[in-house]
Amino acid sequence: MAMQTVRRAIAPVAAVLAIAIGGVVGSIAPATAATAKTVSGGLSGHGALSNDPSCTAVGVYSLAGKYHSDTLGHGTYQLRMCENVPGSESTGTLEMVTSNGSLVHAVIDGSLQVGPSIPTQPQTLQVPVTIVGGTQRFTGATGSLNVLVPFPSCTRPCKFQGNGAFGGGVAMLTPTSVTATLTGQGNFTGCSGETSSFSTGTYTSNRLAGGTYTLTLCGLPGPLTGGDLSFQTTAGEKIHASYRPSAGAFVVDSGTQRFTGIGGRLTVSVTRTPVCDPGGPCLGFTETGTVTGFVVEPLAQ
């Protein structure tokens, strides 16, 4: 009975982790050069003008909603700035999250201007934005945008809604395809009250050298709610990825030494065989697996 229980827990794992990321992997050429692209798009959302002691200028301007773009995909955004009068410097941030979980991070670091009217918004503010990075395919991205946002006529504090537009340019580093094979062993353990597994072993890879790995999966038998994948090369270099349900994959979020600043997205598929004590319970397993996906490295290797 114990072996049957473990087999039932193990069997769905490969299906759960064989998460496809479309045709991206096969079409990526191994290169790290930046490619400049023009950007244009539109946005809509709800905003607020508020007072905040940390903002010593006019006050806080915030706006959030949905965006669409020819280069940056489509998804949601959040803009927040310490607003100053037009012609004076304002500071803040803009974050855009695509439908597959890629993040574009930008800062507001210049003077606001009264913007032109657009078909869906008669009064706008022109906000200068500098792109300073992101995650997954936007790792290491740089560029600048002029963002037109609603120019509300209400008296602070107040709420408003409206539309906007943006345009500019972005330089994106070219992703590199990654494959790896895993051979290891592990056991089932608890993960914040959920059934989970922890495994460790050795790996070989076309891009991430070779060494040891650890893999944690939360929410078995699925759908997964979280997890971690870590590699350590024989030279001691480390790469870490976190499972993001919104991306349906492991998002590479950190590295050390020559992998400092690395980003990317990885898919993992594992096959597991129970390890049982003679006449006793099956508490562990051996595993073999594959990793596919891409990484973006800010510096060419």
Torsion of CA 158, 159, 162, 166, to 10 degrees: 80
The residue among 287 and 87 whose pLDDT is bigger is 287
Q: How confident is the model at residue 68 (pLDDT cuts 50, 70, 90)?
A: very high
| Higher per-residue pLDDT: 272 or 89 | 272
The mean of the pLDDT values for the chain is: 83
* 113 φψ region: left (φ > 0), alpha (ψ -120 to 50), beta (else): beta
| The pLDDT of residue 298 | 67
Percentage of residues of the chain with pLDDT beyond 70: 86
DSSP, collapsed to helix, strand or coil, labels residue 189 as strand
Contact 216, 197 (CB under 8 A): yes
Task: Summarize pLDDT for 100-141 with one digit per residue, the tens.
Answer: 888 999 999 889 999 998 888 889 999 999 998 888 888 888
Comparing 82 with 282, the larger pLDDT belongs to 82
Lowest mean per-residue pLDDT among 82-91, 212-221, 226-235, 259-268: 82-91
pLDDT of residue 163: 94
**Residue of 215, 250, 251, 213 lying closest to 232 (CA atoms):** 213
CB contact at 8 A, 236 and 258: no
Would you place residue 2 in the very low, low, confident or very high pLDDT band (cuts 50, 70, 90)?
very low
DSSP H or E run through 59: strand 59-69
- Judged against a pLDDT cut of 70, whether residue 29 lies above it is answered with no
d(CA 112, CA 154): 18
Closest by alpha carbon to 69, among 93, 44, 106?
A: 44
Query: For 34-173, CATH number?
Result: 2.40.160
Q: Is pLDDT above 50 for 261? A: yes
Give 135-194 pLDDT, tens digit per residue.
Answer: 888 888 889 999 999 998 888 899 999 999 999 999 988 888 999 999 999 998 767 667
Residue 23 has pLDDT above 80, yes or no: no
Residue 222 vs residue 175, higher pLDDT: 175
The first and second tokens of residue 269, run together, are 């598929």
Percentage of the chain with pLDDT > 90?
50
Is the sign of the CA dihedral 170, 173, 177, 179 positive or negative?
negative
Burial state string for 159-193 with b = 16 or more CB within 10 A and e = fewer than 16: eeebbbbbebebebbbbbbbebebebebebeebee
Q: DSSP class of residue 57?
A: S
**Dihedral pair phi/psi, residue 6, rounded to 5°:** -65, -40
Mean pLDDT check: name the lowest of 16-20, 208-212, 223-227, 278-282: 16-20
Spatial CA neighbour of 178 closest among 289, 27, 292, 28: 292
pTM exceeds 0.85, yes or no: no
Report the sign of the C-alpha dihedral through residues 219, 222, 228, 230, in that order.
positive
**Where are the chain's structural domains?**
2-30+175-296, 34-173
